[in-house]
Structure 1
Amino acid sequence: MGLFLLSITITGMAGLLLAVLMRGIVRLRRAVEKAEVLVGHCHSGTLIVRAERVVTALIQTASLAEPRLPTHTVSGLPTREPLIHRIRADRAGTIGVLAFKDYDRLCAFDPELADRFLIAMVERMATMMPADRILAHLDRAHVAVWLGSDVEASSATVEIRALAYALSDCYRDDEREIIPEIAFRINRFDIALHTPEAFLSQTLSSFASVPRGANENIVSDDHKVRSEEQFQIGQDLRQVVAKDQLHMRFQPLIDAASARVCGAEALLRWRHPERGDISPACFIPVMETVGLSQEIGSWALNRALRETRLWRENGHDLRIAVNVSGHQIEAANLPQLIERTLARNDVDGEALEIELTESVALAKGDGAAAFSQALRANGIRLAIDDFGTGYSSFEALTAIGFDKIKIDRTFVTNVHLSRQSQAICASILTLGRGLGINVLAEGVETIEEFIWLRDHGCRLFQGFYFSPPLTSQRFLDFVKNREGLLNLLQLSDQSSYERTYA
């Protein structure tokens, strides 16, 4: 009896299970048919095969619909949008942005080489950075490293500086070698102060500001204030000529061997109606950055030559030295402009000396040499300024054809106390004698500096020991004060210089 009841129970359960399975199969068939409609294709085969195929099709459709992170077409790095999302999620942290300055230069003549260079730089970065650092390609030649909120600001600064240094190692592409020029900025983010979008824009815009100081790579509140100041200076500079806010000062050039003033350096000055006198160290770099070197440089040359004509009309055979920037040399018509300005002021070319800084002279290469030849054809002399601060070569000195070397004030200051400065100054004086080029020491501020340089063969001087920059009339008064000059030269009478420099 017990076995009979057990048999009936098992049979009932099997029937129930079969009924459930049949109902599930019906539901499965209906689900597969609906899914086939969704994927737009009816499959053949058994129900199980059809189910497998429709599941595969749905997975493929879903994967195609998934949003993908936007990446840069050259580097393959994520672009700024994913970075913005991460910065917003972290709420605070430090970013380093590196600018590969060679990229656009290479694009000008070989875009494919430029892309290979950029890819190589990004690959270097990827191998150098810890795995948890986030890289993003912001625009063209700017790549960002997000260090997040767990890294201290000081550690982040050290890391980005080291990265920029390591990336500057030589890059080789077949037979071409490129020494990368890399600029970088470091900025600290706090979501309470900025949106991520404004934060990135501010960091990128900091590359356009004129660098000043040892911490120029750190984007700080001071950096923001300076950027705003430079922007306003650039705006005001556009009107200085029209509003007659510029004027010239003239610093005497002393020929100690003949105990006389042989000329003056024309120095540009700006008196702002609200800010007062603005330092040339402040406005001249901005002037070059905003592209006003040609206009303001032309004004300065014309004003300097106008004063020179007046001096000569009063019987003073003086030469005027005028600074020319690298941006001015880039103008192909600069020699013609100088020639016309000389003619307009009725001044001979012999009365003019053009000064180029050492870095400009060497950077312009053949352009500077051609410029020199054009000047010499009109009797104009050429001086190399700030000598010793760059990487001069004998070839450059002779190829460009300088008439004068000006020892930078860095080496003149306390030359009587510094063995290093003494060695440099003595070497430059020997170089000048060997090449037949006059040597002038600028920035002479004390009698001790003057005496050391004089005793080691220097004949030409400029600096506050003799006179600060003067107005035109006060400069003429200085020229006429021969007794005052003899006292400064430590000469008791008119003929003493003959014994001193015999």
Structure 2
Amino acid sequence: MPRIGHRVQERKIRPGFWLAALLLCVALPAGLLAFRQAALPLLIILSVAALAYLAVEGFWLIRLGRSLGVGGSCPMGRAVHGRVLKLIDANRSIAQRLVQRHGVSGLPTRERLIQAMSEGPGILGIIEFADFDRLSAIDPEKADQVLAEIAQRITRMAGTTRIAAHVDRAHFALWFAGASENEAAPALQAITYALQDRILIGGEELLPVIRMGHMLCDPAATPAEKLLSRAFSTLAARHSGALSPADALSQATGYDFALEQDLRRAITSGEFELWFQPFIDARSQSVCGAEALIRWRHPTRGFVSPAEFIPLAEAAGLADEIGTWVLDAACRATRSWSATGLPAVKIAVNVSGRQLERDGFDRLVERTLSRHGLPPHLLELELTETIAMADSRTAALLFERLRALGVAISIDDFGTGYSSLSYLKKLSFDKLKIDREFVTDVDSRRDCQAICQSIIALGRGLGINVLAEGVERPEEMIWLRRHGCQLFQGFHFARPMPESDFLAFARDRQAITRLFTPKTLPSPGRPAPHARIAR
């Protein structure tokens, strides 16, 4: 084919060229409007035939240029030729810019980032909007708006010396050329902190979940593309398990997402409360301790059940933060009780597996006790068998440090997890709590009686206190007491209650004593005096 701009021999355009062009430009749209679906197969066949003919004839702009004298002596031909070339150059430039800019955020894409990374070593920071998949499944437009706002914040904070790029749907990158980790890490942490601030979209406030990771990159040793891929893998591995799997996120409902957003705000808005369920000592017939239980008083929904928001907090990676709040609030409350004249009682706080995995958990406990002036022997940490045995060696070292502080450790729901005698030997515990599954109807079920008798005897032999939880009927309490269990918790004595009610209950010794001397007991086989309600 002759090059554009050179003189070419004039050739007539065949009539078929114009016929094919007319078919594509006029006949096809007219046929679709007139006949709709009826003529669609025939029109498709004609269109394919016309396109094939045009391909054989050659690029239509060049043929049109030839017909007007492009490259020849016709002034109009030369003018058309110049405009066509300018249009092609302009479109090529626009196309290149579009390829290197993300359609939602307007930030450069990974091509520009990889080009910059290839020029020399530096620090690569990866920032992820972790809620994108879940929000996109509910409201794609809102998800894109959040991405755009995050991109604007990154651009403002990155400045002109750093390259910011939108490298994946929910991932952004910052390239610190020639920087050290000591220079880049504080800047990335500050940017991540700022990105977690509230975003106002359509009159609704959202708290984005941001993940961040960084790594030192040397393109001389490893290609930039592999370094970028490695950074993605490292970030995903670091946060694996912190959020729900992708398939679960895609099935999340709008209610779940909105409730999670409210849950993040509740931590700083003072919406959480601690309620307390007493531990009763049958020997003194008095309150000897209490379990601290978190309650969420939502400003519009009222009380949200722990069974609803605790799994949500674990899936959203908030369990550690909420657990720290419970520990702090429980120590503060227990310390304040001594000022009211209440005899010293022990407070039990549930501990999650994620809290135990946290570096320096024992130091956190020590600082919390010191801050509130609470004697360590008044704090008891409760954990399940499964959590305790997840990493028995690490747990043994942690328990040793906690007990060295004077903090007690108890096993909740004993008998439902590993139920291995070996871990009782490896790990030091102060209390075993018989699970409610074995306490319910223990007065009439032989299987429950055998299990409870074994646990009570085991505790006596190891010098460990045994507490029966979930005691809802006096018959259960009487049977357990007769077989050596002296510590109780359950609805027969008291339900979880606000702090003021708990203090009033703990002071009413006569009311507690009456619970051990019921006036009338239902005969065996008769229903319990009240329905059993889960904690």
Q: TM-score range by the shorter chain?
A: 0.5 to 0.7
Structure 1 moving runs of 4+ over 6 Å = none
CA contact (8 A) 1:329 1:367 kept: no
Q: How far apart, CA to CA, are the structure 2 residues paired with 1:266 and 1:327?
A: 18
Once the 2 structures are TM-superposed, how far is the Cα of residue 233 of structure 1 from its aligned partner? Answer: 2.8
Q: Please tell me whether residue 333 in structure 1 is matched to residue 389 in structure 2.
A: no
Candidates 382, 391, 404, aligned match of 1:355: 382
Equivalent position amino acid for 2:329 in 1: R
Once the 2 structures are TM-superposed, how far is the Cα of residue 227 of structure 1 from its aligned partner? Answer: 4.6
User: 2:407 maps to which residue?
Assistant: 380
Equivalent position amino acid for 1:280 in 2: P
Candidates 510, 516, 519, aligned match of 1:483: 510
Once the 2 structures are TM-superposed, how far is the Cα of residue 404 of structure 1 from its aligned partner? Answer: 0.2
* Structure 2 unmatched ranges of 5 or more: 1-244, 520-535
CA contact (8 A) 1:326 1:364 kept: no
Equivalent position amino acid for 2:309 in 1: F
Q: Secondary structure at the match of 1:285?
A: helix
User: 1:407 maps to which residue?
Assistant: 434
Once the 2 structures are TM-superposed, how far is the Cα of residue 468 of structure 1 from its aligned partner? Answer: 0.7
Q: How far apart, CA to CA, are the structure 1 residues paired with 2:487 and 2:358?
A: 31
Equivalent position amino acid for 1:276 in 2: G
| Structure 1 residues 421 and 231, CA gap change in structure 2 (3 angstroms) | farther
Q: Residues 133-158 of structure 1, C-alpha deviation per residue, up to 9 Å, x if partnerless?
A: xxxxxxxxxxxxxxxxxxxxxxxxxx
Once the 2 structures are TM-superposed, how far is the Cα of residue 358 of structure 1 from its aligned partner? Answer: 1.4
Once the 2 structures are TM-superposed, how far is the Cα of residue 244 of structure 1 from its aligned partner? Answer: 0.8
User: 1:294 maps to which residue?
Assistant: 320
Once the 2 structures are TM-superposed, how far is the Cα of residue 234 of structure 1 from its aligned partner? Answer: 2.3
Q: How far apart, CA to CA, are the structure 2 residues paired with 1:206 and 1:473?
A: 44
User: 1:267 maps to which residue?
Assistant: 293
CA contact (8 A) 1:264 1:320 kept: yes
User: 1:425 maps to which residue?
Assistant: 452
Matches within 5 A, 1:168-179: none
Q: How far apart, CA to CA, are the structure 2 residues paired with 1:478 and 1:261?
A: 9
Equivalent position amino acid for 2:256 in 1: Q
Once the 2 structures are TM-superposed, how far is the Cα of residue 416 of structure 1 from its aligned partner? Answer: 1.3
User: 2:281 maps to which residue?
Assistant: 255
Q: How far apart, CA to CA, are the structure 1 residues paired with 2:255 and 2:430?
A: 39
Q: Secondary structure at the match of 2:370?
A: helix
| Structure 1 residues 486 and 373, CA gap change in structure 2 (3 angstroms) | same
Q: Please tell me whether residue 318 in structure 1 is matched to residue 318 in structure 2.
A: no
CA contact (8 A) 2:474 2:518 kept: no
Q: How far apart, CA to CA, are the structure 2 residues paired with 1:284 and 1:313?
A: 32
Q: Residues 158-179 of structure 1, C-alpha deviation per residue, up to 9 Å, x if partnerless?
A: xxxxxxxxxxxxxxxxxxxxxx
Equivalent position amino acid for 1:288 in 2: E
Q: How far apart, CA to CA, are the structure 1 residues paired with 2:253 and 2:463?
A: 45
CA contact (8 A) 1:362 1:392 kept: no
Q: Secondary structure at the match of 1:458?
A: coil
CA contact (8 A) 1:324 1:356 kept: yes
User: 1:471 maps to which residue?
Assistant: 498
Q: Residues 406-461 of structure 1, C-alpha deviation per residue, up to 9 Å, x if partnerless?
A: 01111111111221111111111111111111100001111111111111111100
Equivalent position amino acid for 1:447 in 2: P
Q: Secondary structure at the match of 2:268?
A: coil
Q: Residues 338-390 of structure 1, C-alpha deviation per residue, up to 9 Å, x if partnerless?
A: 11011110111011000011111111312221221111111100000011111
Aligned residue-pair number: 275
CA contact (8 A) 1:254 1:261 kept: yes
Q: How far apart, CA to CA, are the structure 2 residues paired with 1:413 and 1:491?
A: 18
| Structure 1 residues 379 and 353, CA gap change in structure 2 (3 angstroms) | same
Candidates 420, 444, 456, aligned match of 2:483: 456
Q: Residues 474-494 of structure 1, C-alpha deviation per residue, up to 9 Å, x if partnerless?
A: 1111111111111101289xx
Once the 2 structures are TM-superposed, how far is the Cα of residue 207 of structure 1 from its aligned partner? Answer: 3.9
Q: Residues 223-269 of structure 1, C-alpha deviation per residue, up to 9 Å, x if partnerless?
A: x5x75443333222211111111000011000111221101100011
Matches within 5 A, 1:77-476: 205-208=246-249, 224=251, 227-315=253-341, 316-476=343-503
Once the 2 structures are TM-superposed, how far is the Cα of residue 205 of structure 1 from its aligned partner? Answer: 4.0
RMSD between aligned residues: 1.9
Q: How far apart, CA to CA, are the structure 2 residues paired with 1:382 and 1:481?
A: 28
Q: How far apart, CA to CA, are the structure 1 residues paired with 2:474 and 2:253?
A: 40
Once the 2 structures are TM-superposed, how far is the Cα of residue 293 of structure 1 from its aligned partner? Answer: 1.6
| Structure 1 residues 362 and 243, CA gap change in structure 2 (3 angstroms) | same
| Structure 1 residues 363 and 490, CA gap change in structure 2 (3 angstroms) | same
Q: How far apart, CA to CA, are the structure 2 residues paired with 1:207 and 1:432?
A: 41
CA contact (8 A) 1:206 1:227 kept: no
Q: Secondary structure at the match of 1:263?
A: strand
Q: How far apart, CA to CA, are the structure 1 residues paired with 2:384 and 2:258?
A: 27
Equivalent position amino acid for 1:345 in 2: H
Q: How far apart, CA to CA, are the structure 2 residues paired with 1:228 and 1:327?
A: 27
CA contact (8 A) 2:384 2:417 kept: no
Equivalent position amino acid for 1:490 in 2: T
Once the 2 structures are TM-superposed, how far is the Cα of residue 270 of structure 1 from its aligned partner? Answer: 0.6
CA contact (8 A) 1:405 1:440 kept: yes
**TM-score by structure 2 length?**
0.50
Q: How far apart, CA to CA, are the structure 2 residues paired with 1:491 and 1:256?
A: 14
| Structure 1 residues 474 and 293, CA gap change in structure 2 (3 angstroms) | same
Q: How far apart, CA to CA, are the structure 2 residues paired with 1:230 and 1:400?
A: 38
More moved, 279-288 vs 379-388: 279-288
Q: Residues 86-105 of structure 1, C-alpha deviation per residue, up to 9 Å, x if partnerless?
A: xxxxxxxxxxxxxxxxxxxx
User: 2:221 maps to which residue?
Assistant: none
CA contact (8 A) 2:278 2:291 kept: yes
| Structure 1 residues 227 and 205, CA gap change in structure 2 (3 angstroms) | farther
Q: How far apart, CA to CA, are the structure 1 residues paired with 2:259 and 2:445?
A: 38
Q: Residues 283-334 of structure 1, C-alpha deviation per residue, up to 9 Å, x if partnerless?
A: 1122112111221111111111111011122332111000010010010111
Equivalent position amino acid for 2:283 in 1: A
CA contact (8 A) 1:409 1:444 kept: yes
* Structure 1 unmatched ranges of 5 or more: 1-203, 210-223, 493-502
Q: Residues 195-227 of structure 1, C-alpha deviation per residue, up to 9 Å, x if partnerless?
A: xxxxxxxxx844458xxxxxxxxxxxxxx5x75
Q: Secondary structure at the match of 2:419?
A: coil
| Structure 1 residues 232 and 471, CA gap change in structure 2 (3 angstroms) | same
CA contact (8 A) 2:414 2:434 kept: yes
| Structure 1 residues 299 and 258, CA gap change in structure 2 (3 angstroms) | same
User: 1:195 maps to which residue?
Assistant: none
Q: How far apart, CA to CA, are the structure 1 residues paired with 2:348 and 2:284?
A: 19
Q: Secondary structure at the match of 1:248?
A: strand
